[in-house]
Structure 1
């Protein structure tokens, strides 16, 4: 199939360009064909494509490899914004990047230090909340105006500790890449053209990064959809960045109006919904190319159990053609329980795994040290988990380096007076004295390790630590080190995600945020109640427009059939898409008799 008229116009561009692309309108195809055209137009041209996720980078790379010759691929670079900024600053920055799990423990060590310095009472702060706070502050252009003095002091301590330990995070990397570019202290990317996918997700720093490259003569083509801007909590500026780009860079704008994914019935309903966000959106025509008729249903259930039973009935025949999409993981947890209980194979996408929590990660760091299989970084993370002050941590690591020994190999007199540090050292000393085959003794020992960590965790994390401890103690492995080696891959969220996506087709359970970029023959949006979508928080803060975009994203994942169900009070979004009567009250369920008023 050839290009549409809209696609063809974009593919011929050789200047700053803004492309607004409907869901399923072939934006990846356009990026590939535009790259081909640019490379064939001038032998001096080269292209750098930017994505927001590694999954998108992999998909785009595969498409490019299929479309381009090996010689042409030598002039193409495909990477995420973060990895590009990291590569640009690596020679000058010379710091190690903190990954997700490690960041949790690092922030915990910051809270420990702040408490030690009397900056804060650490018990008033939860680590995940502070991780999110630091992420927001890392994108801020004016900390003193946007945050309290305590928050600013805490963030400055965080940055100071990063420097002292030779570490960094992605926001620091992005800030430095923009600053150094502006001061011409580092070179820009070498490509003549920069193509950006999912441009609506760019934050202020990424926009500034693009501006600096434009000032250095790079040509920019950005592709996105303001109607799918659902990451404001990560700094994504959606409509504002798209309007600013067109104005600031004198860019010509194009719309990819043809949707190849959704049936006309589904696209029309989604279009009804998103137009309620006018005027703060780019008005655009929407044309469904598919000729097959689709279906849209709104179903009322008297109870959540009835709603789940209906889902079970619908997906059981051909589970692999279905996705069940929910606003939050709490609802997906209930769906998963029912699906699992009936033996239906499924993939759970989106949200955080149990192993992404601070407790499993902390326990494995501590167990690694006790087993004697650790480096300085592992020891530092383990001591942070036990709230050991930074000065004491540095002293212990220095002793291990000087003596060229493990933590357990230090003399007890060298450990100092910190109570938990002494207990930790006793455990590390005694592990190897457990007789071989004494599984009962190992289980008791593991309970002691969990108990040591538990006092530094909240109640939920204490339970998680106990689960991991039971897993380690319950296996008949030859050594603690072998147990840890078996568990460590579970901490790699990317590896888990890759394994899930490589599996045979199954029913997909997915959050609305994680559904973006995916498509399914049949979609069931569960829990379409007010207070869920839009969420209570969005209702309280008046952030309805983004919730509407989130619902729009979920609806436009569907190819042939779309079902939206609710239990008590229907979401206002259901009224917005229901200009005609499409509500269905199926027989065989104990539903309320109240009808859905869609006047």
Structure 2
């Protein structure tokens, strides 16, 4: 039917819509109506060219994009259709494999695994992998996530296990002639290749596929079964691909095969908006399209219907920094017609461009909020959802969130992950942990703090202190309320809680976890309190609860019992895998709010006003974090850019951020983000010419200590703590510097923590060496022969702590590891027996009005000072952790505190010549010589840290790496994972 094309399309769009046969590359810049072009082209082919709807294949990248495209097409088409193949790449692969998997020896009722499911599968079968390099004994699961990502990248590149193993074995040929380094590298690659093969076999054994398999096996199907390939080549007369710049190598290979031999292939994309390299996207695909299809027509859409011209000009000047690795340049280099991607605004008026450059990150958030208020005041018609805050990483959003909360601005933070860190989810999981084990004190502490019980926080502080004092669990302390001097409100709250715990614990033995969760939410009044009004907060909490129950449903679909205990173990493994819990995101649902999200999340969206935050060095552009396990260069199929690939991708990310704005874009940055050094502006701010380059190097000035006012709750806790605690240790000081909030849990609230295999093993080794040297001294004093290796290993057997290991196998591995290390240690030590002066030397070092206490593993005398006759000593501290190449700040402070103690006249009055860490597992030493400058710096560090503790300054400082291994991560609202 003629007349399907609407009158409002521009000439370039009409050319693209009505393009005839042959390949077509549509370069669609930001805001140029590419979705309209794709959907109108589908309608044109069906209505004007009379192509049956099931003979057109349209592929995109997200279910949402595919749904929108299908919905638009349905509105355009005036009548029904047989079957519209509009779907994601993975959806297409799944559809073909469900039809034809049997043709390549696969089951067609396979189970599709998420990335977390992949992690869980490998963890469950970890003992079947012959891993050495990638299975550290102290943390066997450390590299699972890295391996999963590596396997995914291999599939992005269409690399089969057989090809990888063949490559690895080729590297290993002639190993005897290679250097030790080359042999080790060949062994590492072979270990990876065999692990990849084992992983794929596990998938098949468990009737499962991962998302990469959906493309990999579809390619295999089309390669190995020519009749099936011919069938789909005949069926799909036209193939359209949206967001072509986001395809990986395997996906591009798939569409080339399907489109042949007609090559009626239309791809739509923009190389300047390729921002998903971390997902395997290959910008080289769109750059190489003209090489692969020399006859392809190129149509450039440059009429922008979104953004004001001044903003477009700024973005275009900026992105040219990526030349020559841009399509605009490369098409001309191929001898084609010169093209221009400079966008031309179709909306009149000048866009607003502003810079908010202030001293602190708190001032940055205030500046952004002030600007929003200013715009709303000058134009009352502006709604809250006309504003969007874009950040490079989720944790950069926190200061904006805090400022908006302070001012009462309605906002929604669209984080893609972080469900398990939501307070509601932590509450529910803590209650379940308590049902599984009453003596889980950290879980009970969290439950007691829930407002539904009405227990004053001062009562909870008293309970935790009394439990610690009497060496009881927190639950046991609830049977001795008189000792804690609780208020009437506190007693009433405990009386309400205890019967529910009894009833729900009984239910947890027989009922599915979802039913137990509902019992708690209803019986306690938590759900009623949660839904008491129709506020934005209530809607957000309800969404979180829905998503938690989706996690329960996912758990129940697995082949496992649906008990509370099994669910808690599942959640533990999921979080161990690095999965923080998916969060739903629907920008159109709910009341109007300011939107806060990452730039990656904003792709495809637009807002009248955009604020891009934290524009300083090492934040935006983000730091380059290359693949921990890169695909070997010899196997990589994509063409790499000539410039800095990471910086180019970050620049494209900034381009995407700028082009989300319709009327105004503001760039914000500060000099102080909490570290000891002032931050320089992002190099992008110089490229954008929004700040002037410095004339000379900026002098680094120490930052002032910010004023901190504790909350009444924290002040009450601090008062209880400070009144009773006068002593500190290096461990306490180190924990406080890592995160004051963790210090609060450990030493103010004194919440008990679980043991660990690393602690058991370390204590075993320390006790063994202490007892061995005591035996050495005893035999020396008695003029007897020195202890033998058998004596040492006997002491080890007696000292070995067999608690907190995850399995018998792990316990045996640790035991054998210690035995092997001690054997080497014995040979090295007895060949040159040290003159041990002190073992486990306890000290109490008075500094100002407080005391630092501790114990030094070993002090060796290496001489006597000629004049003072004081002993000259070496301090030795044993380590069973990972070998470090150099001293970190904390490492130095620990040994330097020992130095201050040994030098104290009231302790040893010795002269410290050398400080040594002895890494027992590697039997290697790292040493340093202390200086007076070191001693002064250590005293300053101690005083500053103690001052923060005594002020009650227990603010949280979340850090992904530290939070991952924190004993209190399961109950912490501020965790970064």
TM-score between the two structures when normalised by the length of structure 2: 0.46
Per-residue displacement from partner, 1:522-581 (whole Å, max 9, x unpaired)? 000000111111112269976211100000001100000000111131111111122798
Deviation at 1:99, TM superposition (A): 3.0
Deviation at 1:278, TM superposition (A): 0.7
2:442 maps to: none
Partners of 1:23 and 1:49 lie apart in 2 by: 20
Per-residue displacement from partner, 1:194-217 (whole Å, max 9, x unpaired)? 111100001000011011112253
Partners of 1:224 and 1:269 lie apart in 2 by: 21
Deviation at 1:287, TM superposition (A): 1.2
1:571 maps to: 682
SS in 2 for 1:508: strand
Instruction: Provide closer, same or farther for how the CA distance between residues 485 and 347 of structure 1 changes in structure 2, counting only shifts above 3 A.
Output: closer
2:151 maps to: 134
Partners of 2:133 and 2:358 lie apart in 1 by: 53
1:412 maps to: none
Partners of 1:447 and 1:278 lie apart in 2 by: 62
2:85 maps to: 77
The match for 1:97 among 109, 112, 117 is 112
The match for 1:296 among 332, 340, 353 is 353
Q: Does 1:338 align with 2:422?
A: no
Partners of 1:138 and 1:485 lie apart in 2 by: 33
Instruction: Provide closer, same or farther for how the CA distance between residues 195 and 542 of structure 1 changes in structure 2, counting only shifts above 3 A.
Output: closer
Q: Does 1:312 align with 2:369?
A: yes
The match for 2:652 among 549, 554, 568 is 549
Instruction: Provide closer, same or farther for how the CA distance between residues 578 and 116 of structure 1 changes in structure 2, counting only shifts above 3 A.
Output: closer
Partners of 1:575 and 1:471 lie apart in 2 by: 53
Per-residue displacement from partner, 1:414-461 (whole Å, max 9, x unpaired)? xxxxxxxxxxxxxxxxxxxxxx9942336779999xxxxxxxxxxxxx
The answer as to whether partners of 1:88 and 1:188 remain within 8 angstroms in 2 is no
Partners of 1:126 and 1:292 lie apart in 2 by: 53
The match for 1:170 among 205, 211, 214 is 211
Q: Does 1:276 align with 2:282?
A: no
SS in 2 for 1:132: helix
Partners of 1:121 and 1:538 lie apart in 2 by: 22
The match for 1:35 among 35, 39, 42 is 42
2:307 maps to: 262
1:227 maps to: 272
The answer as to whether partners of 2:271 and 2:326 remain within 8 angstroms in 1 is yes
Partners of 2:213 and 2:421 lie apart in 1 by: 22
Per-residue displacement from partner, 1:126-175 (whole Å, max 9, x unpaired)? 54433323322322345456982222222222211111111111111210
Per-residue displacement from partner, 1:102-144 (whole Å, max 9, x unpaired)? 3342243243543799983472525443332332232234545
| Deviates further, 337-346 or 78-87 | 337-346
Partners of 1:99 and 1:538 lie apart in 2 by: 23
Per-residue displacement from partner, 1:78-107 (whole Å, max 9, x unpaired)? 101100011011131421111354334224
The answer as to whether partners of 1:48 and 1:195 remain within 8 angstroms in 2 is yes
Q: Does 1:439 align with 2:487?
A: no
Bigger radius of gyration among the two? 2
Q: Does 1:204 align with 2:291?
A: no
SS in 2 for 1:311: helix
TM-score between the two structures when normalised by the length of structure 1: 0.73
**1:42-191 correspondence runs (5 A):** 42-45=49-52, 46-71=55-80, 73-74=81-82, 76-91=84-99, 92=101, 93=106, 94=108, 95-111=110-126, 113-114=128-129, 120-121=135-136, 123-124=139-140, 125-142=142-159, 143=164, 148-184=189-225, 186=228, 187-188=231-232, 190-191=235-236
Partners of 2:588 and 2:63 lie apart in 1 by: 13
Partners of 1:446 and 1:222 lie apart in 2 by: 57
The answer as to whether partners of 1:18 and 1:221 remain within 8 angstroms in 2 is yes
Partners of 1:509 and 1:113 lie apart in 2 by: 44
Partners of 1:494 and 1:66 lie apart in 2 by: 36
The answer as to whether partners of 1:489 and 1:495 remain within 8 angstroms in 2 is no
Deviation at 1:346, TM superposition (A): 2.2
Instruction: Provide closer, same or farther for how the CA distance between residues 503 and 177 of structure 1 changes in structure 2, counting only shifts above 3 A.
Output: same
SS in 2 for 1:56: helix
Deviation at 1:326, TM superposition (A): 0.3
- Matched positions, count: 491
Per-residue displacement from partner, 1:13-43 (whole Å, max 9, x unpaired)? 0221001111000001111221121112332
| Deviates further, 189-198 or 343-352 | 343-352
The answer as to whether partners of 1:181 and 1:188 remain within 8 angstroms in 2 is no
Per-residue displacement from partner, 1:297-350 (whole Å, max 9, x unpaired)? 122111101001112223354421101000001102332233234433222224
The answer as to whether partners of 2:308 and 2:351 remain within 8 angstroms in 1 is yes
Partners of 1:235 and 1:114 lie apart in 2 by: 25
Q: Does 1:323 align with 2:376?
A: no
SS in 2 for 1:351: coil
SS in 1 for 2:624: helix
Partners of 2:134 and 2:369 lie apart in 1 by: 52
Partners of 2:689 and 2:135 lie apart in 1 by: 51
Deviation at 1:75, TM superposition (A): 5.2
Partners of 2:156 and 2:262 lie apart in 1 by: 25
The answer as to whether partners of 1:53 and 1:80 remain within 8 angstroms in 2 is yes
SS in 2 for 1:268: helix
The answer as to whether partners of 1:101 and 1:356 remain within 8 angstroms in 2 is no
1:424 maps to: none
Deviation at 1:496, TM superposition (A): 5.1
Deviation at 1:255, TM superposition (A): 0.5
The answer as to whether partners of 1:530 and 1:570 remain within 8 angstroms in 2 is yes
2:239 maps to: 194
Structure 1 residue ranges without an equivalent (≥5): 372-435, 449-467, 479-483, 583-591, 593-599
Deviation at 1:74, TM superposition (A): 3.0
Structure 2 residue ranges without an equivalent (≥5): 1-6, 169-187, 329-340, 377-382, 437-496, 525-544, 555-579, 628-643, 672-679, 694-702, 704-977
Q: Does 1:514 align with 2:601?
A: yes
Partners of 2:520 and 2:131 lie apart in 1 by: 37
The match for 2:14 among 5, 8, 25 is 8
SS in 1 for 2:85: strand
1:529 maps to: 616
SS in 2 for 1:537: coil
Partners of 1:472 and 1:528 lie apart in 2 by: 45
SS in 2 for 1:567: strand
Q: What value does the CA root-mean-square deviation take over the aligned residues?
A: 3.9
Partners of 2:123 and 2:385 lie apart in 1 by: 41
SS in 2 for 1:182: helix
Q: Which has the higher contact order (CA 8 A, sep 6+)?
A: 1
Partners of 1:136 and 1:356 lie apart in 2 by: 29
Partners of 1:165 and 1:503 lie apart in 2 by: 41
Per-residue displacement from partner, 1:382-408 (whole Å, max 9, x unpaired)? xxxxxxxxxxxxxxxxxxxxxxxxxxx
SS in 2 for 1:530: coil
The answer as to whether partners of 1:110 and 1:157 remain within 8 angstroms in 2 is no
